[in-house]
Every structure is written in structure tokens, then in C-alpha cells.
Amino acid sequence: MDQLLLILLNAAWQIAALALLALGLAIVFGLLRILNMAHGEFVMLGAYAHVIAGQLGLPPLTALPICILVVGLVALLIERVVVRHFYSRMFDSLLATWALSILMREIVEMIWGRAYRNVPMPVEGLVQLGGVSYPGYRLIVIFLVIAGFACLWLWYRKSLTGVRIRAVVNNPSLARASGINTSRFSAAAFVTGCVLAGLSGLLLAPMLGVEPSMGLDALIRSFFALVVGGLGTLEGLGIGVAVVGGVQAGLSAALSQTAGYLGVLVLAILFLWRRPDGLYRRR
Amino acid sequence: MMLRLDGISGGYHDTLVHRGLSLELGAGEVLAVIGRNGTGKTTLARLIAGELPLAGGSIRFGGQDITRLSSWDRARRGIVSMPQTDMVFDGLTVAENLALTGAKSLGELGKRFPRIAQRMRQTAQTMSGGERKILGFVRALVSPGKLLVLDEPSEGVQTENIDHMVACIRQACADGTACLLFEQNIRMVEALAHAVIGLDSSGVCYRAEGQEISRQDMLATLSL
């Protein structure tokens, strides 16, 4: 019984962490049709907010505003200077953001070195659930992800801003004719996606650790989740992270960590091969 | 003058569709632009809406030069366009399509097109071609604006509903709105136009105002 609860909690944790990682990539792809290869580097940059706060001698909580500010400014700069020239050019944008990812990684390495750094848990301690004691910080992140996604979905489906966003994606030309500044919209969408990537790095840093090359793993796992769920919708993202996170957690519990990674890899290959649209098709 | 095009040129990439075209349109007036398919009606509509860049000439709207303004800035100043294709947001419901215009209610339009008012929760892409045209038309007419740029609103729409469209445009013009109507439907043009411009493959081939507008000449423009 306790064993089952632990497995379920681990699955919930895997899924929540993956949802957090993949959200930014899904937003940028869904709204702009750009596969942001530098997504993982924004995750990494967000995680480095801990390092910046530490070096400046500021309290750990200031990492949050530092993360939003630094990642937001870098994303805005990149969108205005590079990415905006590549909208509706799928392959070119892939190469361009790939180049950006290398650049960002190298710059971070120049400033902070290659060393792997540990980040202390912001919330220490274990929570007793039935016969299981589980890290409190993970429970907080799981709760934040569930609440955040519920709010996001409601806002996207019900608010007028949500309607405007869907209108731009659906028919950009008519959206412009309705007075919507699609250029500013694109910048806002890109910056939002990148800041969310940064926030996921910030929140997950205590578990992942911080190093310049941590972005690659984040990008690949997010990409797998989107491939399985279906690129470009919130629903697809939800299904994708549930399946990929669930498979990874299940196989890890039943066999080993390696089997978990392997299972996800096989799943992603099968989907890319047999069902590239993913499980959830756009209506 | 509400709208004034001064020798505008433009088209796609390096192919100019229009060279040095000029026209004027005052408040409360309807200017119909007629011509067969491929004579540049849609291109002209898109040049005015700001969806295509001008290669030359200038556009003044409400006394201000808007030549260099983006399409959204033109829309915010009161140019309301209904494109010929993709005139609605397919993925959105009827209610969401209308909510984007900022209009609070349909008013008279709801009575004239009751099927739109009855289908508020339906997704636009599940409607027929004619219904989507009507939704696009209703969208344009409830939008707050001073100039309507309508690109073939009657295409694929039943006669009865075309008559409703005519009545709605008349009402809008009585309230001071100007209308640039791109059409091939002669009845609609006759019912509304204060002036007519005919296009053929070489440019403007016909201009007439008020009493000079003749059905024969318009038919000649549309035939060949």
C-alpha cells in the first residue's frame, strides 16, 4: 500500500516536472510555429538565477525576480534581433535557435565556468503522507503545476485575451485587420515561453543541479513529451507529459532508471514514426 | 474625403498588379470596384488594408497620411476589412468571432441574420461557405469603424441574404460610414453604389458616378 503510494507520488512528480519543463516549448511552438532549440538554454539560464543571487549575496528568494528579469530580457533581445525574421520558416528557425543555444551555453560557460553546482532545497523537510514521507518541496511543485495549468487552461479558453491569442494563431491576417498588433504578440509569446522555461529551471534546479550543458536534457525530454501528446496544444501537452512522465516513473519503479529513459526513447521513436501528430489532434 | 488613394502601385513580390491607381471616397458613400477574377480587386483591398506594402503612391484616410501604417494601426483608426477568403476565425465560435470586434450586441444585424444569432456557440469552421460569409459580414458591420472594405461579400450567399446585406450597408452609410465594395454582383452594385470603378487586366477601364452608372457598361467590364 505504502509502496503504491510512493510510486504514485513519484509518477506525479515526474509528470509535474516534465509539464513544467515542456510548457515553454509548447507555447512557443503552438503560438509561433517555431521549434525553439534554445529552449533548454533558457531553462539553464533560469537555473543560474540561483547562482547570480548567491554571488550577489542576496537572499535565495530574490532568485525568482532575477530569473524573470534576466531570462525575459535575453529572450526579448533574441526575439527582436534574430527569431522574428524566422517566423513561418520552420527549418531555418530550427537552425537559428540551435545556433543561439550553442552561443548561450558558451557565454554562460565563459562567465561561470563548467562546474556543476548544487542548489539547496528552498523548502527542507519531509511531509508524512500515510506511511510515506515525501519531500515537501516536491509536493509544493506538484501543487503549483496543477494549480498553474488549471488557471492557464481556463484563462486560455475563457478570457478575451485567450480568444485574441487563439485568433492570432488561427488567422493572423484577419487578426491584424481586427487591430491586433501581431508583431508585439509574437514577441510577447516568445518571451512568455522562454520565461516559463527559465522558471522551470529555477524550480527544478535543486533536483537537477546547475551546469552550462543542463539544457540539452531539458530540451529532449520536453520535445519527447510534445511529440507523444501532439505539438501545439495545451491538451496535447497534458496528455504527452502524463504518458511520458508516467512511463518513465513506472519503468523506473519496476526495473531501473535506465529502463525508464530507454522506455521514453522507444516511445518517442514509435510516435515520430507511426503517429507524428501525437495523441491529441488539433480540432 | 474619407479615403484618398493617390497614384498607388503595388502587388506581389516583383509583379505589380496596380500602377498609379487613384480614387476618392467620401463619408456615407459607396464606391464599388468591379472586375472579373484576376483583375486585382483583392490586391487593391489588401493594399488599402495594409496587408500588402505599397510600391508607390500614397493613401490618406480621414485627412491623415496612412501610407506607412501597419494593418493593425489602420484597423484601429477605423478601416474595417472583410477579406474575400478566410473572413472569419475558423477555430473560434461565432460568439468569440464577434467578441473580438468589441461589439456588445448585434442589434439590427441579429434580426436580419437570425441564424448567426442562434448559433453563438458553434465553431465557425463547421458552418457552410455562405454562412461564413455572412458571419464575416456581420463581424465587419458591428466593428466600430469609419470605412468598410468589403471584398466580394455576396459570393456564395443566397439572394435573400444579399438583400439584407444591401440594407445593412445602406444603414451604415446613412450613419456616415463609407464603403468600398469589391463585387461582381451587378444587382448589389446597382442597389448601393454612388460611384463605380471597373478593373480589367490592364488597370482601370471604367469610371462612372451617380446617374452615369450604366448596367450595360458594367456588364461589359465583367464579360470578355
Q: What is the pLDDT of residues B35-78, one digit of tens each?
A: 999 899 999 999 999 999 999 999 999 999 999 999 999 999 99
Residue of A nearest to B77 (CA): A179
Chain A residues with beta carbon closer than 8 angstroms to that of B71: 173, 176-177
Residue A278 has pLDDT above 90, yes or no: no
Distance, in Å, from the CA atom of B76 to the CA atom of B61, rounded to the nearest integer, reads 12
Please report, as a single letter, which amino acid is at residue A209.
Answer: G
pLDDT of residue B129: 93
In percent, the amount of chain B with pLDDT more than 90 equals 88
Q: Domains (ranges, CATH) in chain A?
A: 2-274 (1.10.3470)
A132: three-class secondary structure by DSSP: strand
Report, as an integer, the average pLDDT of A77-82. 96
* CATH number where B90 lies: 3.40.50.300
B60 falls within a domain = no
Report, as an integer, the average pLDDT of B145-164. 96
B176 falls within a domain = yes
Buried b (16+ CB within 10 A) or exposed e, B41-79: bbbbbbbbbbbbebeebebbbbeeebbebebbebbbbbb
Between chains, do B75 and A177 touch, taking CB under 8 Å as contact?
yes
Residue B104, chain A, CB below 8 Å: the answer is: no
From the candidates A31, A157, A176, which should be mutated to test the interface with B, based on the most B CB atoms within 10 A? Answer: A176
Residue A153 has pLDDT above 90, yes or no: yes
Q: Are strands B3-12 and B15-25 parallel, antiparallel or unpaired?
A: antiparallel
pLDDT of residue A283: 47
How many Cα atoms are found within 13 Å in the side-chain-facing hemisphere of B106?
Answer: 21
Chain B residues with beta carbon closer than 8 angstroms to that of A180: 72
Distance, in Å, from the CA atom of A14 to the CA atom of A10, rounded to the nearest integer, reads 6
pLDDT of residue A174: 96
**Neighbour-count burial of A36, counting CB atoms closer than 10 A to its CB (0-12 exposed, 13-18 middle, 19+ buried):** buried
- Reported ipTM: the value is 0.93
pLDDT of residue A42: 98
Largest Cα separation within chain B, whole Å, is: 46
Residue B134 has pLDDT above 70, yes or no: yes
Q: Which domain holds residue B172?
A: 26-39+75-222
In percent, the amount of chain B with pLDDT more than 70 equals 100
Cα–Cα–Cα angle for A69, A75, A81, rounded to 5 degrees: 130
Between chains, do A178 and B90 touch, taking CB under 8 Å as contact?
no
In percent, the amount of chain A with pLDDT more than 70 equals 99
Report, as an integer, the average pLDDT of A242-266. 89
Residue B71, chain A, CB below 8 Å: the answer is: yes
Residue A183, chain B, CB below 8 Å: the answer is: yes
Interface of A with B in 141-180 (CB under 8 A): 160, 163-164, 166-167, 169-171, 173-180
pLDDT bracket for residue B123 (50, 70, 90): very high
From the candidates B47, B51, B72, which should be mutated to test the interface with A, based on the most A CB atoms within 10 A? Answer: B72
Contacts of B49 (CB under 8 A, 6+ apart): A177, B71, B74, B75, B79, B81, B83, B149
Report, as an integer, the average pLDDT of B13-38. 93
In percent, the amount of chain A with pLDDT more than 90 equals 73
Report, as an integer, the average pLDDT of A203-232. 91
A148: three-class secondary structure by DSSP: helix
Give the number of other Cβ atoms within 10 Å of residue A198's Cβ.
29
pLDDT of residue A16: 95
B159 falls within a domain = yes
Are the C-beta atoms of A278 and A228 separated by less than 8 Å?
yes
B187 falls within a domain = yes
From the candidates B71, B76, B77, B146, which should be mutated to test the interface with A, based on the most A CB atoms within 10 A? Answer: B71
Report, as an integer, the average pLDDT of B178-201. 95
Chain B residues with beta carbon closer than 8 angstroms to that of A175: 89
Residue of B nearest to A162 (CA): B96
| Tens of pLDDT, residues A45-59 | 999 999 999 999 999
Between chains, do B76 and A179 touch, taking CB under 8 Å as contact?
yes
Nearest one of A264, A243, A241, A269 to A252, comparing CA atoms:
A264
B67 falls within a domain = no
The overall average pLDDT reported for chain B is 94
Residue A27 has pLDDT above 70, yes or no: yes
Number of domains in chain B: 1
C-alpha cell at position A129: 503522507
Between chains, do B91 and A169 touch, taking CB under 8 Å as contact?
yes
pLDDT bracket for residue A81 (50, 70, 90): very high
A101: three-class secondary structure by DSSP: helix
B115 falls within a domain = yes
pLDDT bracket for residue A282 (50, 70, 90): low
pLDDT of residue B224: 66
Between chains, do B96 and A166 touch, taking CB under 8 Å as contact?
yes
Q: What is the DSSP string of A33-99?
A: ----TTHHHHHHHHHHHHHHHHHTT--GGGHHHHHHHHHHHHHHHHHHHTGGGGTT-HHHHHHHHHH
Lowest mean pLDDT among A25-34, A213-222, B215-224: B215-224
Between chains, do B83 and A178 touch, taking CB under 8 Å as contact?
no
Distance, in Å, from the CA atom of B156 to the CA atom of A82, rounded to the nearest integer, reads 43
Nearest one of A96, A94, A112, A91 to A44, comparing CA atoms:
A112
A26: three-class secondary structure by DSSP: helix
Please report where in the chains the cell 451617380 appears, as a residue.
B210
Q: How far is CA A69 from CA A44, A48, A76, in A?
A: 14, 12, 10
B53 falls within a domain = no
B14 falls within a domain = no
Are the C-beta atoms of A117 and A51 separated by less than 8 Å?
yes
Chain A residues with beta carbon closer than 8 angstroms to that of B49: 177
Residue A61, chain B, CB below 8 Å: the answer is: no
